[in-house]
Every structure is written in structure tokens, then in C-alpha cells.
């Protein structure tokens, strides 16, 4: 049969196609195409450290990873690995970081502004209620995640200029949950630390992450093992690491934290079971580390979790080795992992974003230190921490965007507290001993911030109980750096003061004092100086016992000066730092005072720690410089850690000196926001007082309540520093053989 030219052309084309197909098949058999492998890392909190162990074995087996997808802790490990960090570096960072510090939003107390340090001397619960637009508002979570965000920034700084996650050394996706609609959110671009933080926003623990006009929480709620996300990125093989739910045992379900955690674990496990059905046993590999009793909060057990991940991956090695590369091929792949990601180096411009109430000028120092200069990362994070320490922000983060001139735009995102600018706080104070003294009080505080562009604040503190008091102050800085300020104030309070004759309580008086004054002050390098006049009235009345003190109203108008230097890490149970207070009170007859005298008081506390052990030295002294002061202004000694073993304020004198040395050992560390720790301790104390004298109004004669004397005391105690404030249970012994049992909530 005669063939047409078209038919001949078609036959030739078919033959060429067949030959090409045969050649291609032969080439594939000789050099088969290596499959694209996607690594899927589940969430699990502290259990997620096991992912690092899996990564170590994958590199030992020379298995290339082409796509990484992670949820929650899986996004932290996965995002860091995708950004170019080796498993060894990840292991070092995760095991060496102090997670308790990381979960504590506040920077160290020594870096707080002086005003906030002074407020912490009166303990309140570590919980505030916001007041905004006339409504009460609650914080979004127990932890805002400030320190966590900065840790993420530092962890992936080598890829911080990358905008698309496809441009990372390994393409990456982070999975979060859109809190507004409950849908899965897949982060494929933006600042990498933001994506990691959004994926890890455990509800109730971490505040949700707001970004691009959306609110995100932990991705484990919708997709804790996001196999489908990796499939959509075009992989051929899935290596999935499932950490399990980590259900809490029954004995840990007796509080709201345990119940909440278990509910999240149940929800998470349900979507994990759905994801596991997507595993193809012929090609995919599922790795399930046996983490035993390691819970999602056991970050201190990270080395154990990593070792468990290593063991699980090696168990799966027979399935994994089929995807191994030769040493040469793997070395080539590894070199490619450190491709386009580069840290920011030159800051061309600085942008402060997110401010509504706070004057942007407070960031001028930060801007001047970075703009047009090589990036000083250490200085940047110090300036961010100093700003955050003022207490106005939910979080302050930073990221970079490349500019056309080769420099980078530094964006500092300062998110103000959504529940501010007014804050209600509450506290409890209790002092009781077996010597007949007890004081209790319920405390409420209110602070209104940023009343004007210079950062004026109004503060009020009300205490109800058997020692009620009210303190208000309007604090007006004269510049944004608070180098100078003016502070009018009102103080009003009742103090139940006891009178002792030798070691017997003979009377109890109610001393009501009111002061209206104004301070002029300055704050320099952590030291606050104040001085100002005040109008004062004191009213003394007999409550019980013999009439030893003069009663009635006294005008004590005068001048007050105060200097404070404070670097203590905690006002309650300090483990490092120093605090020095000097206060001079001078009622003046020229200003209308009924009696004139000078009261000078100096106290100093310093603490030094080595491991869990702390030595704290306290020195204090006071003098009236030879002048006779009213009894209620004389310097007291006696009580817990203040000549322990004696009754509270058993001794008073016009002149006083005291030294106390306390040793305490931290027996347990408490995770934020629960507290700082539990302690066992002991103290040695010594004090001297001048002769205790008061003037009898009936006879005009001086009554000697106690001779000039030295006193000694010591104590053993159990202490705690928790979210409700410091608390102590102590046994005191005096040098004269007296003893006392103390129960204290608040500062001793």
C-alpha cells in the first residue's frame, strides 16, 4: 500500500518518540531521580526537642530534606533547620537556654525604671485587670511571649532578610490557627520569627499573635501533623515525626492549668489521627519517639527528649536508608542549604510601628543608635528590653525588609497592651505571730499611664484592714527620658503601734497620719532623687492599755528628701543586686510644725548567689542627731528578720543600727507565670538601739521604756515567691531566749 508523505512523517515521529522513551527509561534505571522529601514535624511543647534528635540521625544517614513543615514546637525546630541551623547548633541552643527566663515576659528587674521598682516594694498579685474606654479588660494570655520572640529573632538571624519562605535554604511552612474562624493558616512568607511565634501561641498560656490584621493561635488545634501541607508543596515522600499527645496523668488534672492542657491535648490528638490516614506505608516514613512521661512543659528534660528522638529515628533507619545519598551528593546538597539567607548588616532606615498612646520619641535613642549604621544587634535588643521594662507594651519585636540601595529597613513593632492604659491590681498582706500581733490587709492599686505626651501617670493604692491606708500620686515627667519630674502626692493611713515596757506590751495606739506634698526629682542611671515640702497632720489615740503616749493632733509640716538606688533582681526574695535607700524627714517649726526634729534613715541590701544558694546582707541605721522624736517616728526593731524572736516592733529608739545576714537555698524553681521559686533559709541578726524614751504629757517627765541595748536574733524559715507575692513561715529565736512563730504574706 502506498504511503502518503504525512503517514511517513507520522511513522518517523513515532519511532523517534519510542527511541527517546527507551533511552530515558534506561537512564532512569542507571541514575534514578531522587524523590523530593518533605519533613513534617508535629507540635508538642517541650517534647518537640525530640525533633532535633531525628534531624541528627537524618544527617547521619545522608537523607536530604527538600521541604519542611512544622506546627508549634515543630515550627521552631523546623524553621530553624530550614533557615540553615545544624542539628548540633539547635541542640546547643535548646539545651542551654533558660526556659523559665524565656517564659518570663519581663526583662530583669534591675533594668526596670525606678518608678516601677519602687511600686514593686509593695507586692501585688502578678495579674492586672485593664481599664480602657470605661470597660474592664483582661490580658490575652498568661505570657505575652516577649522573651520568646527575641529568642526566635536571634535563633534565625541568618535568614532574617528572606521574605518568601520558598527562598530559605530549605522551603518552609509554619502552621497556625486563625482564631477568628478556626481555619488552618499556613505561613509561607513574612518575618520567619513571627510565623514561628504564631504557630506556638498555645491558648491560655501565650497571648495570640496578631499579624496582618488576623489573630493566630497554636496550629496544633487544627493540624498538629500537617502532612497535607507538605503534599501540596509537591513532595514525593513524607517523613513525619509524631510526638503524641502527651496526656497528663490523673494526679495533674486537679487545677485549671492541667484541665486546660488536657483539653488541648485531646483536640490535638483528634486531628492527628486524621492526618495519619494520609501516610502511604509503601513510600512514607512515620517516626514516633517514645517520650514516656516527658510532658509538654518539661523543657529542662530537653536532653532526654533529644536522645529519644535519636533512638526513634535509628529504629526507623531500615526504612530511611533507601533515600540516602552518596557522600558526594549529600555534601553538595548541604552546601546548598546555606544559600540565600543572610543576616541584616546595614540599617538604612528605622520604622517604629504599632504605637497609639505612647510617644514615639521614647524610641529616639534606639533609632539614633541604628539608623544609617551597621546593625548593632546587642544594642538593639538592650534598647528593646529597656523600653519593654516600662510596662506599656504587650510585646516589642523587630524584623527587616531589604531596600533597593542594598541596606535594610529595620521595623520595630511595638504592640501596646490592648487592656491598657489603665490597670487595676490586687494584693494581700498578712503578718501574724504568736506574741499577740496580727496585721492583715486587702490591697487594690490603680495606675493610669500616658495621660499626656510626656508620659504623665496617676497612681493610687488603697489598703483595707486593721492598718488601712491610701496613697495617690500624679507623676509628671518634664522630659521623655524622665531625667526630671514633679510629683504631687497624698498619703493617709492608720498604724496600730504598740508600746512595750521591757518585754511586755502595755498599750496599743492608733496613729493616723496624713500628708499632702509635692516632690521635685530626677532619675539618673537607675538612681531616683526626690525632695519637696509637705503639709502633715498626725493624730494619736489610745486603743488599749495604759496611757503612756501623748494623745491628740500634731502638725508636723516640713520637708522630705529621698534617694534610691536599686538593682535587686527581686524585691521579695533577692538573689542578686543591691538596693540603697536614704530618707530624711524634717518637720520644721518655720513651716508650722508643732515640734522640730530631723529623722534620717539609711538601709542597704545586697544579695549574692552561687548555684541555688544565696547570701543576703541587710544593713540599716537611723538617727535623730540628738533630738527627741515622737514615739511613732522612733526607729523600730523586732520581728521576722528584724531581730527575730522578739515581738514585732518591740523596741524603739531615737538612734538605731542593725545588721542581718540571711542564707537561703532554692529548693524548687517555679515556672512563670506561677512564680520564681521555693526556698529554705536561716538568718543571723544583731541590732543596737539608744535609750527608748517618751515624754509623759501629764507630768512633763521622760519615761524610759527600754535602756540602751544590744539585741541578737536568728531564724529558720520556709519562703516562696509566687504570683500572689512573697510568703514566709518562720521560727525566730532571740539572744535572750525568746522565740516566735511568724506567718507572713508580703515583704518582711
In this prediction, residue 249 carries a pLDDT of 66
What cell was used for 523?
A: 532619675
388 contacts 374 by C-beta, under 8 angstroms = no
Residue 31 — pLDDT band, cuts 50, 70, 90? Answer: very low
pLDDT at 264 over 80: no
The CA distance from 450 to 136, in Å, is 18
124 contacts 427 by C-beta, under 8 angstroms = yes
- Mean pLDDT over all residues of the chain? 88
Query: How buried is residue 310: exposed, middle or buried, by Cβ count under 10 Å (0-12/13-18/19+)?
Result: buried
The CA distance from 91 to 555, in Å, is 67
More confident residue, 723 or 688: 688
Chain length of the chain: 748
More confident residue, 173 or 135: 173
Least Cα distance to 284 among 328, 241, 340, 336 occurs for: 241
- Over its C-alpha atoms, the chain yields an Rg (Å, rounded) of 33
DSSP β-ladder status, 128-132 and 422-433: antiparallel
Query: How buried is residue 38: exposed, middle or buried, by Cβ count under 10 Å (0-12/13-18/19+)?
Result: buried
* Residue 61, phi then psi, degrees to nearest 5: -85, 0
In this prediction, residue 261 carries a pLDDT of 63
Three-class SS state of 499: strand
Query: Locate cell 503524641: which residue?
Result: 244
What cell was used for 239?
A: 517523613
Strands (E), 322-416: 346-353, 373-374, 393-402, 408-416
* Cα separations in angstroms, 14 against 7, 11, 673: 11, 5, 74
pLDDT (tens digit per residue) in 68-92? 999 999 999 999 999 999 999 999 9
408-416 sheet: strands from edge to edge: 373-374, 346-353, 408-416, 393-402
Three-class SS state of 241: strand
Cis bond upstream, residue 370 (ω within 30):
no
pLDDT (tens digit per residue) in 191-230? 999 999 999 988 767 888 988 889 999 998 899 999 999 9
pTM of the model: 0.82
363 contacts 414 by C-beta, under 8 angstroms = yes
In this prediction, residue 696 carries a pLDDT of 64
More confident residue, 587 or 332: 587
Amino acid at each position: 500500500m502506498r504511503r502518503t508523505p504525512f503517514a511517513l512523517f507520522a511513522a518517523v515521529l513515532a519511532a523517534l518518540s519510542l527511541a527517546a522513551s527507551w533511552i530515558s527509561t534506561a537512564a532512569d534505571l542507571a541514575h534514578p531521580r531522587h524523590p523530593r522529601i518533605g519533613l513534617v514535624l508535629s507540635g508538642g511543647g517541650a517534647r518537640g526537642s525530640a525533633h532535633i534528635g531525628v534531624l541528627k540521625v537524618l544527617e547521619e544517614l545522608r537523607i536530604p530534606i527538600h521541604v519542611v513543615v512544622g506546627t508549634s514546637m515543630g515550627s521552631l525546630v523546623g524553621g530553624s533547620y530550614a533557615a540553615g541551623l545544624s542539628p548540633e547548633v539547635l541542640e546547643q541552643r535548646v539545651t542551654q537556654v533558660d526556659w523559665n527566663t524565656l517564659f518570663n515576659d519581663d526583662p530583669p528587674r534591675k533594668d526596670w525604671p525606678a518608678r516601677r521598682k519602687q511600686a514593686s516594694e509593695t507586692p501585688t498579685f502578678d495579674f492586672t485587670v485593664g481599664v480602657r474606654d470605661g470597660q474592664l479588660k483582661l490580658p490575652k494570655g498568661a505570657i505575652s511571649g516577649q522573651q520568646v520572640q527575641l529568642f526566635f529573632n536571634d535563633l534565625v538571624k541568618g535568614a532574617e532578610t528572606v521574605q518568601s519562605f520558598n527562598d530559605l535554604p530549605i522551603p518552609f511552612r509554619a502552621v497556625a490557627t486563625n482564631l477568628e474562624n478556626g481555619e488552618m493558616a499556613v505561613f509561607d512568607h513574612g518575618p520567619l520569627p513571627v510565623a514561628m511565634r504564631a504557630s506556638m501561641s498555645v491558648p491560655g498560656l501565650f497571648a495570640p499573635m496578631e499579624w496582618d490584621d488576623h489573630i493566630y493561635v497554636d496550629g496544633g488545634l487544627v493540624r498538629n501533623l500537617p502532612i497535607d501541607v507538605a503534599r501540596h508543596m509537591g513532595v514525593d515522600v513524607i517523613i513525619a515525626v509524631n510526638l503524641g499527645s502527651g496526656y497528663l496523668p490523673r494526679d495533674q488534672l486537679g487545677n485549671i492549668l492541667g484541665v486546660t492542657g488536657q483539653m488541648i491535648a485531646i483536640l490535638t490528638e483528634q486531628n492527628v489521627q486524621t492526618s495519619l490516614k494520609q501516610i502511604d506505608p509503601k513510600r512514607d516514613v512515620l517516626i514516633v519517639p517514645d517520650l514516656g512521661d516527658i510532658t509538654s512543659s518539661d523543657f529542662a528534660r530537653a536532653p532526654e527528649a533529644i536522645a529519644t528522638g535519636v533512638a526513634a529515628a535509628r529504629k526507623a533507619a531500615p526504612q530511611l536508608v533507601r533515600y540516602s545519598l552518596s557522600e558526594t551528593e549529600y555534601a553538595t546538597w548541604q552546601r546548598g542549604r546555606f544559600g540565600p539567607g543572610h543576616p541584616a548588616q546595614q540599617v538604612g532606615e528605622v520604622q517604629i510601628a504599632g504605637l497609639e498612646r505612647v510617644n514615639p520619641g521614647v524610641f529616639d535613642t534606639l533609632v539614633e543608635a541604628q539608623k544609617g549604621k551597621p546593625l548593632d544587634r546587642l544594642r538593639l535588643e538592650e534598647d528593646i528590653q529597656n523600653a519593654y521594662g516600662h510596662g506599656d507594651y504587650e510585646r516589642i519585636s523587630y524584623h527587616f525588609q531589604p531596600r533597593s540601595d542594598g541596606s535594610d529597613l529595620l521595623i520595630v513593632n511595638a504592640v501596646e497592651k490592648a487592656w491598657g492604659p489603665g490597670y487595676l491590681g490586687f494584693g494581700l498582706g498578712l503578718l501574724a505571730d504568736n506574741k499577740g500581733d496580727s496585721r492583715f490587709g486587702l490591697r487594690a492599686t490603680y495606675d493610669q499611664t500616658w495621660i499626656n505626651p510626656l508620659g504623665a501617670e496617676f497612681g493610687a493604692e488603697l489598703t483595707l484592714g486593721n492598718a488601712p491606708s491610701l496613697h495617690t500620686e500624679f507623676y509628671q515627667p518634664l522630659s521623655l527620658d524622665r531625667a526630671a519630674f514633679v510629683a504631687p502626692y497624698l498619703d493617709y493611713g492608720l498604724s496600730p503601734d504598740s508600746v512595750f515596757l521591757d518585754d511586755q506590751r502595755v498599750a496599743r495606739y492608733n496613729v493616723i497620719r496624713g500628708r499632702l506634698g509635692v516632690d521635685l526629682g530626677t532619675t539618673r542611671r537607675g538612681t531616683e532623687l526626690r525632695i519637696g515640702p509637705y503639709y502633715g497632720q498626725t493624730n494619736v489615740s489610745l486603743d488599749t492599755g495604759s496611757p503612756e503616749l501623748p494623745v491628740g493632733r500634731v502638725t508636723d509640716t516640713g520637708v522630705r528628701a529621698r534617694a534610691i538606688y536599686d538593682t535587686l533582681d527581686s524585691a521579695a526574695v533577692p538573689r542578686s543586686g543591691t538596693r540603697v535607700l536614704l530618707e530624711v524627714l524634717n518637720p520644721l517649726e518655720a513651716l508650722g510644725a508643732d515640734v522640730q526634729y530631723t529623722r534620717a534613715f539609711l538601709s542597704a541590701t545586697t544579695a549574692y548567689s552561687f548555684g541555688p544558694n544565696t547570701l543576703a546582707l541587710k544593713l540599716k541605721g537611723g538617727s535623730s542627731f540628738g533630738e527627741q522624736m515622737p514615739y511613732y517616728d522612733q526607729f523600730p526593731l523586732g520581728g521576722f528578720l528584724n531581730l527575730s524572736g522578739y515581738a514585732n516592733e518591740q523596741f524603739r529608739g531615737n538612734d538605731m543600727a542593725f545588721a542581718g545576714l540571711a542564707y537561703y537555698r532554692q529548693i524548687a524553681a517555679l515556672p512563670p507565670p506561677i512564680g520564681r521559686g521555693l526556698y529554705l533559709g536561716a538568718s543571723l541578726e544583731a541590732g543596737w538601739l539608744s535609750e527608748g524614751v517618751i515624754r509623759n504629757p501629764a507630768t512633763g517627765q521622760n519615761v524610759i521604756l527600754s535602756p540602751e541595748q544590744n539585741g541578737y536574733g536568728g531564724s529558720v524559715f520556709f519562703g516562696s515567691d509566687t504570683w500572689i507575692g512573697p510568703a514566709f513561715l518562720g521560727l525566730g529565736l532571740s539572744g535572750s531566749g525568746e522565740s516566735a512563730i511568724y506567718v507572713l504574706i508580703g515583704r518582711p
